[in-house]
Amino acid sequence: MARGLYPIRTISAMTGVNPVTLRAWERRYGLIRPQRTPKGHRLYTEQDLERIQQVLMLLERGIPISQAKAALDGQTPAPAHPPEHHGHRNRDALRREWLEALSALDERRLEQAYASALGLFSMDEVLHELALPLLEELQTTADNDDDTAAALRRQFLRTFLRVKLAARVHHQGAFASGPRLLLAAPAGSCDELPLLLLAAMAQSNGYRCISLGTDVPLPQLAHALDIARCAALAITGTGPEPPDGLMRLLQNSRTPVFLLPDAAHWADGVTTERILPIHHRDDVLAALRQRVPPCP
């Protein structure tokens, strides 16, 4: 083998992208053009390896695989068209890959399954049609059957998604230029995943996000509202009741306040139109766009 040329199994191990996905990127999208041995086996150069890593970075930022080549070539990506293989068969196969990785608590296999999903679907599709339904299924199983294994798999997946979403939000932040959103979870709330999910979706739609993270004391939240000059505030939280003083602060806010699904019940009995409870995650983006339209 020539120096600096790698077979597909080596490239797959180095990048976490499985061979099926690498071949799809080549045939369907023309993203890479490996050399061939006399017997037809693919050989990848260092430049191919670098390009694959660039594709993965684009996917992390939410760029659909169908638009990756245009982005790499410095062109304005055209509107994405659903690839032919976006079907239930692919989703079912990917779901099995994810479940097998979760069952074994195998981060490497989960990373490969994640890369495979991004090779076929956009980031938003991977999240809303694969990862989040899996989380809900594992939660239901853990709660209804008192299943310790399901609870462990759910925790493993949540941790994995937090890392991936945090990376995506970081990369996307430099490209957003629309209305500013302030995101926070008040004192006593330590689940950052809903904030990361909203930030990723909002940034994909042109919003700029300022996240204060979790367990934010009320005085700090009040000060942030005074100085951030945001178009809206999004709050998540856990527990049956909001922290003392929170709802009074939100009612006095000069900007619209969105209570994300875990905290939507905090608005029970609140009549102000400034506070908008959102009871299902699929409605979050639509409610945001209606009340605070993104820049054209």
Contact between 142 and 151 (Cβ < 8 Å): yes
Q: What is the pLDDT of residues 226-261, one digit of tens each?
A: 998 899 999 999 889 999 999 999 999 889 999 999
**Same-domain check for residues 277 and 185:** yes
Is beta strand 42-44 parallel, antiparallel or unpaired with respect to 6-7?
A: antiparallel
Would residue 65 count as lying in a domain? yes
Cβ-Cβ contacts under 8 Å for 52 (sequence gap 6 or more): 11, 15, 17, 22, 25, 31, 32, 44
User: What is the pLDDT averaged over residues 168-181?
Assistant: 79
Mean pLDDT of 139-157: 90
Q: Is 296 contained in some domain? A: no
Based on the fold, state whether residues 254 and 188 are members of the same structural domain: yes
Domain membership of residue 264 (yes or no) is yes
**How far is the CA of 1 from the CAs of 4, 43, 47, 52, 241, in angstroms?**
9, 9, 17, 21, 65
Instruction: Please check whether residues 61 and 92 belong to one and the same domain.
Output: no
Instruction: Examine the fold and report which residue of 139, 172, 205 is the final residue of a domain before the chain moves on.
Output: 172
Whether residue 117 sits in one domain with residue 160: yes
Distance CA 166, CA 200 (A): 8
Residues 130 and 200 in one domain: no
The pLDDT of residue 180 is 94
- The CA-atom distances, in angstroms, between 166 and each of 122, 163, 187, 275 are 17, 5, 21, 27
Cα–Cα distance measured from residue 294 to residue 296, given in angstroms and rounded to the nearest whole number: 6
In terms of domains, do 185 and 96 share one? no
Question: Which of 124, 153, 172 is the last residue in one of the domains?
Answer: 172
Higher pLDDT, residue 152 or 203: 152
**Helix segments in the chain, DSSP class H:** 8-15, 19-27, 46-60, 65-72, 88-103, 107-120, 123-126, 132-145, 148-172, 193-204, 218-228, 246-251, 284-291
Q: How many domains does the chain have?
A: 3
Say which range, 20-34, 79-93, 248-262, 275-289, has the weakest mean pLDDT: 79-93
Pair 264, 192 in one domain: yes
Residue 81's pLDDT band, with cuts at 50, 70 and 90, is very low
Does residue 77 belong to any structural domain of this protein?
A: no
User: Is residue 78 in some structural domain?
Assistant: no
Does the structure show a pLDDT above 50 at 293? yes
Q: Indicate whether 13 belongs to any domain.
A: yes
Whether 68 contacts 75, CB under 8 Å: no
Quick check: is 207 in a domain? yes
Which of these, 212, 188, 216, lies nearest to 199 by C-alpha position? 212
Q: What is the mean pLDDT of the chain?
A: 85
Which of 125, 151, 172 is where one domain is finished? Answer: 172
186 and 281: one domain? yes
> Is residue 194 domain-shared with residue 155, that is, in the same domain?
no
Say if residue 98 is in the same domain as residue 160.
Answer: yes
Cα 26 to Cα 40: distance, rounded to the nearest angstrom: 14
CATH of the domain at 97: 1.10.1240
The reply to whether 259 and 216 lie within a common domain is: yes
Is residue 287 in a domain? yes
Residue-wise pLDDT for 68-77, tens only, equals 888 888 765 4
Q: Are residues 162 and 186 in the same domain?
A: no
Q: Tell me the average pLDDT across 212-238.
A: 94
Identify the domain containing residue 231 by its residue range: 180-291
Rounded percentage of the chain residues whose pLDDT exceeds 70: 91
Contact 218, 186 (CB under 8 A): yes
Tell me the CATH number at 237: 3.40.50.280
Please state whether beta strands 180-184 and 232-235 pair in parallel, antiparallel, or not at all (unpaired): parallel
The conformation of residue 292, written as its DSSP 8-state character, comes to S
Provide mean pLDDT across the span 192-204: 89
* CA count, 13 A, side-chain hemisphere, 193: 18
Q: State residue 85's pLDDT score.
A: 43
